[in-house]
Structure 1
Amino acid sequence: MDKQHPQQQWQQAVSSYAQAINRFVSQGQAQGWDDLQEPQAPPTEHLLPAWQAALQAINQPGVSDAQRQAFREAWPPAHQPLLPLLEQHGQAIGTLLLLDDGSLLARIGTPFDRGQVVRIDGYSVTPVIGVEHFGRCPQRRYFALANAEGIRVTDGWGGPQVARFAWPNGLEGLPAGYPFEPFDLPPTPTAITPFPDGQRLLLVSSEGVFVLAATGATRLLPDEQAILQDLAQGIDPDDINLGLGMEHGALSADGSLIAIGEQCGRHRVLDQQLRLLAEIGPVSEYPHFALFNQRGDQLLLNACHFYNGATLGVRTADLPGLDTEHYSDDPRTPLLHEGARIYAGVAREHEYIVGDAHGYLRAFGEDGREHWQHHLGSTLCAMDISADGRTLVAASYAGFISLIALDSGRPDWQIGTGEHAEVRRWLFWKGLDKPLAW
């Protein structure tokens, strides 16, 4: 029997496995992968009761910051040892924002879950009452706060209201004279993003993609022209599917460009008057994600196939009139990254940081050159970055929120090639009395 204390066993297992994986990756990148065998994780399931007891103890009232730091060093964060618990306890964290004061906003649960919005400030977690979904404009100034009554836009978090929008009724942009039915309930937002002036809002949902304004809602997807084509072919209105899958949207920093998409069709880009500028064929099967770079002069477009994918880039100057098909080799839409099905991403100076379905943060340049990877585990589903590009926050379907100090050095227990250190990890697990800070 191992006479080491469970904490020592955990520490040794987590650090040795991370270092072995990092050596494996380094060798593979240097010499190829053909003759390499991936390291096996050491057994840790027997340590989980001791880890859980220690985690609960460190989250009791009266614990000092020094004690919390000592706990992290004794029980370094890891994903692989927790796999036996994730099926029961893990859950998605669908939306995440890092506020300028260092606190976090998170929506616990997928958009379709009942969910709860919370604010995380230091080690304090407080429910945000009366808000079911939230979003922020690309320039970080305006916030959208939604509930069943509608969506209001405030100037700053907690600031004065500058606009209020009703939910779409579902008949916007549908051909007149056909028996289409309005929504029974407001659409469930995948994302709500105010425009930089706070006077319009991009609503992405599986029931449709809309721009909301004081004058009402304008449907962007499904496209009215495509619906008319279906009707012209004799398809019964009741058989026309108005729902969307893998729906997504992004605004450029100045609000002049709107990138949208869903699994059926091509990537689409519209101007601020909602006129179609470009239709771009994906470089994998299903359009899945869009993100503008920090300067707003390049657009990243990801498409997926199962849990993998491919990402192209296009300069915004090349968008007007751009019309390419699937897997086009047009030099204006070069492949930037291959392998990741992207669920969330952010941009900082000359760099994209994306989260994939395999639990990795992956960073690459606007030229497609790989920069680094950083492992968190489970599918990454929400991300944000501080205005200065030095702090990253990421969330996963494992129920984790990870606060990461970028470019601050890598601890020996971290799997990855970048010099980044996790500062804190929150567990928002089903079945817990309260979220726990690790």
Structure 2
Amino acid sequence: MTTLTPQQQWQAAVLDYAKQVNRYVEQGLSQGWDGLKEPQQAPTEHLLPALLEALQTANETNADDASRANFRTDWPPAHLPLVPLLDEQAQSISALALLDDGSLLARVGSSYERGRLVHIHGNQWHDVIGIDFFGRCPARRYFAFARASGISVHDGWNGPQVAQFAWPTGLEGLPVDAGFAAFEHPPTPTALIPFPDGQRLLLVSSDGIFVLAKEATTRLLPRPADIREDLRRGTPTDDISLGLSMEHGAVSADGRWIAVGEQSSSHLVFGSDLLQVADVGPVGEYTHFALFNSRSDRLILNACHFYNGATLSVAVADLPGLQTDFYSEDQRTPIVQDGARVYAGVSRGDTFIVGDAYGYLRAFDDQGTERWQHFIGSTICAMDLSADGKTLAVSSYAGFVCLIDLEAGRPAWQIGTGEHHERQRWLFWKGQSKPLLW
């Protein structure tokens, strides 16, 4: 009897499991899920030392693209076999940006951590020093860079500075005689989103959501009107919480609309004048995510409960004056995706691509018709799409950064229903001295 090498065992286990899952999903979608036997992967934990040794060796050589492709054939990427390593080694990659030259910016570390900024170009990478956090405008032109001294906005990644903003004091929008304390430290950004004109910035943080501009800083959440109402009712200042959870925000590509929310709010939409125009009830317990499409004519809004969620859609033309309750059945806010707790997303033509808490990318059109699903593994935490719509960058809490060529053909190891080819997977793990390219 021939004994398989660790490489052969890994390859066989990963390919067989992907085949099982893809067949399982195909049958479930076409025939229903009752009676289907769930896929089972062969044991692989004993193969992890051999995989890591091979991966380390492959990264120590200046391999050409053909050699790297051969390595991925021999040792196909997978998520489930790596789970025993993730508790100690995995980390979030909280922001991504695909640049026009094909390179990629990745902010390694959760938004609340100090983290580091990495620039990936082909098979090479280097640290970017001096920038704590970054963001890009929805029209892809302007970049925001956060430093202890403030936030600067630049025309392009290496372009000239066009605006500079001080950090909020924390007193914006609050009654001056109410006794609220200013921030001891600048808020830690969850997201930085320059407006398409480069002259304003949406700052999302657990300390509040603000719009920064040359003339003033405006608090959007918590809403100043709600704070004043609490004070009017006699609530002591110390009992009024200004902190946010699950805070999120989005700016439309034309700069006319801002959508924000957090765990305890509904979905709130503001116009470019920063006046609220819509209050949309979520279709879940906790408001979680917002995204405008690239045409700025449609908005999706996600709410979650545990690892599940639901996403509704609303035409931008219907936003002015729109008010709906939680779980509303208003025809203007139909559910377009049911099941995903969404952490990140992009718009591509008439398709939204979102990443969920189970490690899946899910694509659906404006009307909610599913286009495809594609498995990465672990919770998806950031995404970006190239200007030509052909390359998708995705990161996860497993410490993965994946570059995916859309509609380029599905490899045998890929779990999913779409014909997409992941050409690179970087592992940014705490236990490694440098990222590993898989």
Give yes or no for TM over 0.5: yes
1:264 is aligned with what amino acid? S
**Match of 1:270?**
270
- 1:222 CA drift (Å): 0.4
**Match of 1:74?**
74
- 1:295 CA drift (Å): 1.0
1:56 lines up with 2:56 in the alignment: yes
Q: 5 Å matches for 1:56-205?
A: 56-205=56-205
For 1:275 and 1:254, the matched residues in 2 are separated by 17
For 1:324 and 1:367, the matched residues in 2 are separated by 19
* Deviation string, structure 1 residues 309-343 (Cα, Å, up to 9, x no partner): 00000000000000111001111111111000000
For 1:69 and 1:411, the matched residues in 2 are separated by 11
* Deviation string, structure 1 residues 166-221 (Cα, Å, up to 9, x no partner): 00000000122111000000000000010000000000000000000111311000
1:230 lines up with 2:233 in the alignment: no
**Match of 2:293?**
293
1:330 lines up with 2:334 in the alignment: no
Note closer, same or farther for the CA distance 1:299–1:82 as it changes in structure 2 (3 Å cut). Answer: same
* Deviation string, structure 1 residues 248-304 (Cα, Å, up to 9, x no partner): 000011100000101112100000000110000000111100001121111000000
- 1:2 CA drift (Å): 6.5
**Match of 2:9?**
9
1:372 lines up with 2:348 in the alignment: no
For 1:404 and 1:61, the matched residues in 2 are separated by 23
- 1:62 CA drift (Å): 2.8
Q: 5 Å matches for 1:297-376?
A: 297-376=297-376
Q: Is the 8 A contact 2:16 2:41 kept in 1?
A: no
- 1:161 CA drift (Å): 0.5
**Match of 2:409?**
409
Secondary structure in 1 aligned to 2:50?
Answer: helix
**Match of 1:240?**
240
Secondary structure in 2 aligned to 1:322?
Answer: coil
**Match of 1:216?**
216
- 1:40 CA drift (Å): 0.8
Secondary structure in 1 aligned to 2:112?
Answer: coil
Secondary structure in 1 aligned to 2:387?
Answer: coil
**Match of 2:391?**
391
1:44 lines up with 2:44 in the alignment: yes
For 2:62 and 2:38, the matched residues in 1 are separated by 43
4+ residue segments displaced more than 6 Å: none
Secondary structure in 1 aligned to 2:342?
Answer: coil
Higher mean alpha-carbon deviation, 59-68 vs 17-26, is at 59-68
- 1:39 CA drift (Å): 1.1
**Match of 1:35?**
35
For 1:64 and 1:93, the matched residues in 2 are separated by 26
- 1:124 CA drift (Å): 1.3
For 2:309 and 2:391, the matched residues in 1 are separated by 26
Note closer, same or farther for the CA distance 1:206–1:2 as it changes in structure 2 (3 Å cut). Answer: farther
2:308 is aligned with what amino acid? N
- 1:65 CA drift (Å): 2.5
- 1:123 CA drift (Å): 1.5
For 1:305 and 1:62, the matched residues in 2 are separated by 46
Secondary structure in 1 aligned to 2:269?
Answer: strand
Secondary structure in 2 aligned to 1:81?
Answer: helix
Secondary structure in 2 aligned to 1:178?
Answer: coil
For 2:62 and 2:335, the matched residues in 1 are separated by 52
Secondary structure in 2 aligned to 1:17?
Answer: helix
Higher mean alpha-carbon deviation, 26-35 vs 56-65, is at 56-65
* Deviation string, structure 1 residues 55-91 (Cα, Å, up to 9, x no partner): 0000014323222121111101100111111111111
For 2:102 and 2:301, the matched residues in 1 are separated by 29
Note closer, same or farther for the CA distance 1:40–1:349 as it changes in structure 2 (3 Å cut). Answer: same
For 1:54 and 1:19, the matched residues in 2 are separated by 24
* Deviation string, structure 1 residues 85-130 (Cα, Å, up to 9, x no partner): 1111111111111111111111111011111011011111111111
1:423 lines up with 2:423 in the alignment: yes
Note closer, same or farther for the CA distance 1:172–1:221 as it changes in structure 2 (3 Å cut). Answer: same
For 2:328 and 2:161, the matched residues in 1 are separated by 45
- 1:419 CA drift (Å): 0.4
Secondary structure in 2 aligned to 1:218?
Answer: strand
* Deviation string, structure 1 residues 214-260 (Cα, Å, up to 9, x no partner): 11311000001111111112111011000001110000111000001
* Deviation string, structure 1 residues 390-419 (Cα, Å, up to 9, x no partner): 100100000000100001111111000000
Secondary structure in 2 aligned to 1:314?
Answer: strand
For 1:17 and 1:100, the matched residues in 2 are separated by 36
For 2:361 and 2:399, the matched residues in 1 are separated by 16
Secondary structure in 2 aligned to 1:343?
Answer: strand
2:283 is aligned with what amino acid? V
For 1:335 and 1:84, the matched residues in 2 are separated by 36
- 1:50 CA drift (Å): 0.8
Structure 2 unaligned runs (5+)? none
Secondary structure in 2 aligned to 1:59?
Answer: helix
For 2:109 and 2:433, the matched residues in 1 are separated by 16
CA RMSD across the alignment: 0.9
* Deviation string, structure 1 residues 133-188 (Cα, Å, up to 9, x no partner): 00011111100011110010111111111110000000000122111000000000
Identity of aligned residues (%): 62
Q: Is the 8 A contact 2:260 2:269 kept in 1?
A: yes
- Structure 1 length normalisation: TM-score? 0.99
Count of equivalent residues: 438
1:372 is aligned with what amino acid? W
Secondary structure in 2 aligned to 1:78?
Answer: coil
